[in-house]
Chain A
Amino acid sequence: MSRANSATWLRQQRWAWPTWPARGLARSLPWLLPLALFTTWAVGAQQGWVSPQVLPAPAYVYDTLKDLAISGDLWANTSASLQRVLLGYALGTSLGLVLGGLMGLSRAAEAYLLPSFNALVQIPVLGWLPFALLLFGIGEPLKYALIAHAALVPVTLGTLQAFRQAPVKWLEVGRAYGFSRRQLVTGVVLPAALPTLFTALRLGFTKAWLSLVVVELVASSEGLGYLIVYGRQLFQLDLVMAAVVVVGAIGYLIDRGFDALERRLGAWRPV
């Protein structure tokens, strides 16, 4: 029985609805809410519950999306955003892994760094903005820094937690079989930390992706966030909606990607 199968099996046990075809139902459950929302949107737009300027119909948004795709604007803005997020995420994650790993593996490092870190992360991003503007200017580096900051916090704290919980019972097994310090780290601490670590990386990405729109609100002339701002200023809500759909879809796909990667790497999950 593969791990994926046993997970599905477990879920079916929990949702044991005797009179329903359990498999089909379990698969369609996640789609119920989005479908209901979409229907409300479509019906509401058609019935004119809200003015079309405020809530454009799905078909109109779809046309806008198609126009954007044909003109190449969609790809240009998406790639600008992706580039920012990937770079900012890479920066923030690398720093977070180092900081969290350091604090998780060394009590001394934790004593030196964690209190300051905890104090600094209490300051909201917008609080840093004036200072960041002076430091990085208003160009791309500012955006990288803010996105990196968004990813940094969850990745650091998650990494710290992942390493700190290195379980004594497994470390003792390692010691019983003569593991060296290095073997203990690579053979016990790291694999034991992997699930928590992965969750942290995933959460870090979500935070980075969410911060994108805010960052592109500040000052930019391209990007998905910029499309949203631009659409709002021109009161083209179809453009806003189209950009929102793209932001959501990409975020969702990348999250799925993380999921698949986690399976591929064989990160075990606590049962």
Chain B
Amino acid sequence: MQANSLVLDHVSKHFTQPNNGAALQVLDDIALNIAPGEFISIVGASGCGKSTLLRLILGLESEFEGQILLGGRAIRGTGLERGIVFQDHRLFPWLNVRDNIAVGLKNSPLASAAKQQVVREHLALVGLERFAEAYPHQISGGMAQRVAIARGLVNRPSVLLLDEPFGALDALTRARLQNELQRIWAQENITMVLVTHDVEEAVFLGDRVVVMQPNPGRIKRIVDVGLPHPRQRSDARLVALRDDVLGDFLDA
């Protein structure tokens, strides 16, 4: 699928609180233009509305103010041109790895032979060919997250949304999967929106880093990383940027 620009046009979101019926503002006037194929990182403390923002883009929540445009058209509901990787991998425990990846293709227009081929390719993309028959409870958390990434990619979406995909993993696995994600992104020409509370991860992967602040969730500033991919973690410029962004949270 052709990469498309994603425009968040002054998006705000209120929830009605279940206990007292009062409105709780979670997102305030989010404005962001994301170029086709761009890698956007969103960092912010927990509770500042990052997941809510992704759910709006994904189309799981349709009540909000403002507009979300993909390729110039307002999004309506969910769509196969937008993929998602949730924080808790959310694989179906009753399906093996191969069938979990195929879940993404359930409503794709491809013929069934083509679907099998696509699933095989994506098993290879995330390096899990040998685990095609394994069930989610038989694989590690890192593998499960790779399966979830493969499931998010099988439709060749123009945008892949990632909600703290590596948050629950140990540091070594996390670093490995970050490299892997960078490779996949470079290879697939897909717009990626990665939500994280890990500043280092945000800076390492993002073309731009959107720093959010809470109550209500809003954009504090947008940092241009401006370094070519693939990057080295130890790059002095990355380290400096990381410290710069971390400063936003320390003096908040």
Contact = CB atoms under 8 A, between A and B. Distances in A.
B76 to A, nearest CB: 12
A44 interface: no
A192 interface: yes
A187 B106 contact: yes
Interface in B90-108: 90, 92-95, 103-104, 106-107
B86 interface: yes
A178 B88 CA distance: 20
A266 B88 CA distance: 24
A176 B107 contact: no
Contacts of A191: 92, 94-95
Given A1-B138, A194-B94, A177 B60 contact: no
A173 interface: yes
A180 B80 CA distance: 13
B106 A176 contact: no
Interface residues of B, number: 25
A177 B90 contact: no
A187 B95 CA distance: 10
B205 to A, nearest CB: 22
A135 to B, nearest CB: 42
Q: Most chain-A Cβ atoms within 10 A of its Cβ — which of B59, B90, B155?
A: B90
B221 interface: no
Interface in A221-271: 266-268, 270-271
B228 interface: no
A6 interface: yes
A177 B104 contact: yes
Interface string A175-188: 11111100100011
Q: Most chain-A Cβ atoms within 10 A of its Cβ — which of B80, B83, B94, B104?
A: B94
B135 interface: yes
B10 interface: no
B99 to A, nearest CB: 11
Interface of A: 1, 3, 6, 169-170, 172-173, 175-180, 183, 187-188, 191-192, 194, 266-268, 270-271
Contacts of A187: 103, 106
A183 B106 contact: yes
Q: Most chain-A Cβ atoms within 10 A of its Cβ — which of B83, B107, B134?
A: B107
B43 to A, nearest CB: 23
B94 A266 contact: yes
Contact of B107 (A170, A173, A177): A177
Grouping DSSP codes into helix (H, G, I), strand (E, B) and loop, the B interface class, with mixed when no group exceeds half, is loop
> What 4 A-B pairs come out closest when comparing CB atoms?
A268-B94, A191-B94, A271-B137, A178-B107
Contacts of B155: 177
Contact of A175 (B60, B83, B88, B104): B60
B28 to A, nearest CB: 24
Interface in B77-93: 78-80, 82-84, 86, 88, 90, 92-93
Contacts of A169: 86, 88, 90
B58 A176 contact: yes
Nearest to A167: B90
A173 B80 contact: no
B93 A268 contact: yes
A8 to B, nearest CB: 14
Contacts of B60: 172, 175-176
A256 B86 CA distance: 39
A191 B96 CA distance: 13
A173 B137 contact: no
Contact of A170 (B78, B90, B137): B90
Nearest to A6: B138
A268 B135 CA distance: 9
Nearest to B154: A177
B49 to A, nearest CB: 17
B80 to A, nearest CB: 6
Nearest to B134: A1
Contacts of A267: 94
Contact of A176 (B84, B94, B135, B137): B84
A178 B135 contact: no
A173 B104 CA distance: 9
Interface in B10-67: 58-60
A268 B134 CA distance: 12
A3 B94 CA distance: 12
A270 B93 contact: yes
Contacts of B135: 3, 268
Contacts of A177: 78, 80, 103-104, 106-107, 155
Interface string B134-164: 1101100000000000000001000000000
27 contacts: A1-B138, A3-B135, A170-B92, A172-B90, A173-B86, A173-B90, A173-B92, A173-B103, A175-B60, A176-B58, A176-B59, A176-B60, A177-B78, A177-B80, A177-B103, A178-B79, A178-B80, A178-B107, A179-B107, A180-B107, A183-B106, A187-B106, A188-B92, A191-B94, A191-B95, A266-B94, A268-B135
